[in-house]
Chain A
Amino acid sequence: MAYIALTKEPIDILDLNQRLVDAQYGGIVTFVGTVREWTDDIQTQSISYSAYETMAEKELKRLADEVEATGSRVVLVHRLGHLELTEAAVFVGVASAHRATAFKQCAYLMDTIKEHVPIWKEEFDTDRTRWGGIADDKN
Chain B
Amino acid sequence: MIKIKLFAYLQEMVDANEIEVAFANDTPTTADLKQAVAGAYPVVAAYLPPVRLAVDEAFVGEEAVLDITETHEYALIPPVSGG
Interfacial residues, chain A to chain B (CB-CB below 8 A): 33, 49-52, 54-56, 58, 78, 89-90, 110, 113-122, 131-135, 139
State the CA gap A97–B16 with chains docked (Å).
48
- B75 interface residue (CB < 8 Å to A): yes
Q: Is the interface of A mostly helix, strand, loop or mixed?
A: mixed
A118 near B7: Cβ-Cβ < 8 Å: yes
- B41 interface residue (CB < 8 Å to A): no
Given A52-B75, A58-B57, A134-B47: A115 in contact with B80 (beta carbons within 8 A): yes
What does the 1/0 interface line of B50-83 toward A look like (CB < 8 Å)? 1000100111000000000000000101111111
Closest residue of chain B to A55 (Cβ to Cβ) is B57
B5 near A52: Cβ-Cβ < 8 Å: yes
B81 near A33: Cβ-Cβ < 8 Å: no
